[in-house]
Chain A
Amino acid sequence: MDFISKNLPYLLAGISVGGQYALIAIGYTMVYGILRLINFAHGDIFTVAALVLVYSSTIMPLYLSIPLTLVATVVLGLVVERVAYKPLRNAPRMSVMISAIGVSYLLQNLALYITGGLAQTYPAIPIISNTIKIGPATTKIVTVVTPVLTIVLVFALMQLINHTKIGMAMRSVANDFETSRLMGIKVDNIISMTFVIGSFLAAVGSLLYFTNYASVVPTSGAMPGLKAFVAAVFGGIGSIPGAVIGAFIIGICENIIKGLGWTTFSDAFTFALLIVILIVKPTGLFGEKATDKV
């Protein structure tokens, strides 16, 4: 009993942060699945979402600023794709990668410029910021809401991908651009669609993640963004279920390590895991064989 009451808060926190990582990781994995590109800017889009809420909530009520945050993040994802990746569609993959790194630094610097590097108070979103008691543990409602919402969103996404016409088009574009064009598919629109979905989920993840924090600095999103990326690689980049499972595993392990009193090592664990998986099974838990796209 004592053991449970001591570790339950960490387990709950782990499941919750795992869900938040999962929402970010899906964006990495979907874009990789379709473009074979690691979208380094994705973690920064997550941070920008937090700042959009910070600033918009000072001039409008939350019931407006939350939808605005979702929309603005989606638009940002789309703009990044159109401006930085689309013109490089036929360029070597390395060029696109470098462009992604460029966008990442641009967004980071923009955030630094706008915030002046100062911590910005993150607004308390009603209901999910309230605390509840689960057995012996006291936690914010967001801790419970996150895994449920994550699972609902992932389920909806899997339905979209596996059982709708647009999902079928997404899978065919992931296989082969040119043949998809021959089917009459507007490949660029399908690619945009994956950025819309990825950015939307990152914005939802951002709302949930930062509810646990009182303030945001321009670098606040870097660590969760990086961990979500590790989760995507761990699960097998390109695979959505892989990214989600990887994210939950990382979130839970990290917090259990904190529970054991080794907080200092919890981040190191994640990256050690990345190194181990890259050595032992480079394709990740559910990754496809490392076939190069033709």
Chain B
Amino acid sequence: MLKVNDLKVNYGGIEAVKGISFEVPEKSIVTLIGANGAGKSTTLRSIVSLVKPSNGKIEFLGEDITGRDTNDIVAKGITLVPEGRKIFPDLTVLENLKIGAYMRKDNLTEDLNWVYDLFPRLKERHWQAGGTLSGGEQQMLAVARALMSRPKLIMMDEPSLGLAPLIVQGIFEIIKEINKQGVTILLIEQNANMALRTADIGYVMETGNITLTGSGKELLVNEQVRAAYLGK
């Protein structure tokens, strides 16, 4: 579904991503793990053209989308739940959800019901300003907002960051549930243990390079991964 080939991204001369290649097959859950500053967020941001890659090719459903306008890419069915949630604090919960569906012109009732089913908490609080939600609620809203665009591929940048263990578990349940409903998922996580358990395929990123690839289960038992990311 998504093919990234020899992707390089520079920030003013510093190469944050140094020529990585990976694939996300349709209907799968793929995770990208790695230490702070490895270039994970940069990779996702370049897929949706928030940063322009200096080299490489990004293909989505067989089409070259490298460097296209962000709104074109979103229209094709890719969405990003950004690092740090980034909900709109001055918009209500309901407006945050509606703005997630900004590109669509059809009726949203069904989708609102769908995300309210996944996150009943958001329904209770639909009138509240986004900025007044708790951290966990904001994360739910960020995921729900992304779903409102009816994406084919949803990319999530550390959805579990700063959340209580019980909520983290909840978020991962939702990820599996969304995937079951046919949405492909590309997930970045610090919580390597949870991520690798959930994912079909994992990639390990180190200082701008992909150094290891395997199924989630393989990586879970890999010596290097265990030493570096699972603390064992």
Contacts and interface: CB of A to CB of B under 8 A. Distances in A.
A184 B75 contact: yes
A182 B98 contact: no
Interface in B71-94: 71, 74-75, 79-80, 82, 86, 88-91
Contact of B102 (A171, A176, A184): A184
A185 to B, nearest CB: 6
Interface residues of B, number: 23
Contact of A174 (B69, B71, B90, B103): B90
B48 A171 contact: no
Contact of A179 (B75, B86, B90, B95): B86
B99 A169 contact: yes
Contacts of A169: 99, 102
Contact of A181 (B50, B75, B98, B100): B50
B70 interface: yes
Given A181-B50, A182-B74, A185-B102, A175 B80 contact: no
B149 interface: yes
Given A168-B99, A169-B102, A176-B86, A182 B91 contact: no
Contacts of B98: 165, 168
Interface in B101-147: 102-103, 145
B89 A182 contact: no
Given A168-B99, A184-B149, A185-B102, A179 B71 contact: no
Size category of the binding interface on chain A:
10 to 19
A183 B100 contact: yes
Given A171-B91, A172-B91, 16 more contacts: A168-B98, A168-B99, A171-B88, A172-B88, A174-B90, A175-B90, A178-B86, A179-B86, A179-B88, A181-B70, A182-B82, A183-B103, A184-B149, A185-B71, A186-B69, A186-B71
25 contacts: A165-B98, A165-B102, A168-B91, A168-B99, A171-B91, A174-B90, A176-B86, A178-B50, A178-B82, A179-B86, A181-B50, A181-B70, A182-B50, A182-B70, A182-B74, A182-B79, A183-B99, A183-B102, A183-B145, A183-B149, A184-B70, A184-B74, A184-B103, A184-B149, A185-B102
